[in-house]
Structure 1
């Protein structure tokens, strides 16, 4: 347990350092209910950058600072140099991933009024060829549908076109399925999707889609992912990451369970709880199959369909180092495994 606590503290301290070392960090998320993209650059404890509402696109200047604990304060300014708002939040490791951070807190006007929350997730962008992500939305106010999905802009190569079609097709199907199955209830109803970029370089893109349905006693969440080989214009299959004939399924299940248990123990430590019998959690049946998977620079992400009471753990991150003996040295994951020491 002490090791778990120390590891998390090290990650927390590392958050501010990562922002300092990166050329620029890009975050996506929301201010209130509005989708935004935020770009930040650090110089010492100073932060500069900009953000824009995806629906509008106009850039708003940001200036502020970050301390060693990841506490962030930012002021925003319009084109005339007038302050129009301020952010106060914290940069912390994303508990669901090993290579990304979350920046969340509150936004207000300069006088402290109109307080609203913001929630931003780091996007792993490493394009050098002019590609960039834009967002499209399928909306239906009558049915409370707001389905945001990614599209690549800045290129027309076959791989870019194929990715865009795949992402649009997947979200369109999810929306149509929801409409077909929609039954009004006393709890109302609705469906939303949004996305995070797990990996994006000139060769590969991997994007997770986060879906939320509500209308029953409890909201339901699920995940999908779109992972594409841009060079060859095709979707990646999981088996292509591993050596031919490798028995990787059981290894992935064990690694996923270990990741979930570690996160559960950290959460219990934070809440001063101790469940004693941790081995009873995340049974073989619950982890028998994963519904989707994605790639990050540091590892593989698996998405499971877990019962509501433990659904918060339905993502599992597996570092490349834990899979090094089975990875195909000529496969699409080899470049990341080598970079992260999984030789």
Structure 2
């Protein structure tokens, strides 16, 4: 009797185990990692605006007006450095002309002197900003007004101003390449280039200190009297990037412009 009861008990326990198996807990599901958020370029966080300045003197008579490019929208040290660089550059030129104007007679020979400073944003690609500054001036008693330019090419991401050599491979004579192209273009123009102005386009750093990065090519600026007479005016030449491909640093600022 007891044997039969034991068998029935075991059978029932076995049936219960089969019908009600022990539940194995599932391993915890790992929480999904948050998607990486792309950090916007510093240049996407700022806006370029003009900072106006005007100074008027009656003794001697002169007027100074300037527009200084400044970035707003961020207190990043790289933005502050950009603004300081442009401010210092323009203030230096303003002070130079002011000191000259103050040497003029109190009683003007004409309508007095003036300086006007303007700027143009040639391009802004990624974190590379390329600006041209134009200075127009007249000193009382001079035969005619004068004009000259300056350029600033700035890598905002790296927080530094670019030199022309930063665009090209270190072991190449990029100035020869640039000069040869410019000379060929200047010779096509009716500006009297071959009448004593060739030296202004020779492959020296001084001759090619004014340049801008633009979508269509590298823009070289020559001021009055550098490669032509005053009457012919300033000259600009745009060199297609394809013409510079053999000397361009493929890891440098022009990499994205190459064909």
Q: Find the counterpart in structure 1 of residue 247 from structure 2.
A: 326
Query: Structure 1 segments of 4 or more deviating over 3 A?
Result: 258-262
Shift of 1:149: 1.6
Change (3 A) 1:295 1:333: same
Change (3 A) 1:140 1:198: same
Change (3 A) 1:210 1:301: same
Q: Aligned to 1:221, which of 147, 161, 186?
A: 147
Q: Find the counterpart in structure 1 of residue 46 from structure 2.
A: 131
Change (3 A) 1:258 1:229: same
RMSD: 2.4
How do 1:110-121 residues align onto structure 2 when only pairs under 5 Å count? Answer: none
Q: Distance in 1 between matches of 2:182 and 2:193?
A: 14
Q: Find the counterpart in structure 2 of residue 167 from structure 1.
A: 86
Higher relative contact order (Cα pairs below 8 Å, separated by 6+ residues): 2
**How many equivalent residue pairs?**
201
Q: Aligned to 1:292, which of 207, 210, 233?
A: 210
Structure 2 unmatched ranges of 5 or more: 1-40
Q: Aligned to 2:133, which of 194, 209, 214?
A: 209
Q: Distance in 2 between matches of 1:322 and 1:282?
A: 27
Query: When the two structures are superposed, what TM-score results if normalisation uses the length of structure 1?
Result: 0.54
Q: Distance in 1 between matches of 2:114 and 2:145?
A: 9
In 1, are the aligned partners of 2:129 and 2:153 still within 8 Å (CA)?
yes
Q: Find the counterpart in structure 1 of residue 180 from structure 2.
A: 254
Q: Distance in 2 between matches of 1:282 and 1:299?
A: 28
Q: Distance in 1 between matches of 2:83 and 2:130?
A: 12
Q: Distance in 2 between matches of 1:286 and 1:186?
A: 33
1:235 aligns with 2:161: yes
Shift of 1:321: 1.3
1:317 aligns with 2:238: yes
Deviates more, 1:292-301 or 1:252-261: 252-261
Shift of 1:310: 5.0
Which structure's residues are more often strand, by fraction?
1
In 1, are the aligned partners of 2:223 and 2:234 still within 8 Å (CA)?
no
Query: When the two structures are superposed, what TM-score results if normalisation uses the length of structure 2?
Result: 0.70
1:200 aligns with 2:119: no
Q: Distance in 2 between matches of 1:177 and 1:207?
A: 21
How do 1:1-343 residues align onto structure 2 when only pairs under 5 Å count? Answer: 129-142=44-57, 143-182=62-101, 183-184=103-104, 186-187=109-110, 188-215=112-139, 216-262=142-188, 264=189, 280=194, 283-288=197-202, 289-307=207-225, 308-310=229-231, 312-337=233-258, 341=259
Change (3 A) 1:129 1:282: farther
Question: SS at 1:253's partner residue?
Answer: helix
Structure 1 unmatched ranges of 5 or more: 1-125, 266-274
Q: Distance in 1 between matches of 2:239 and 2:187?
A: 13
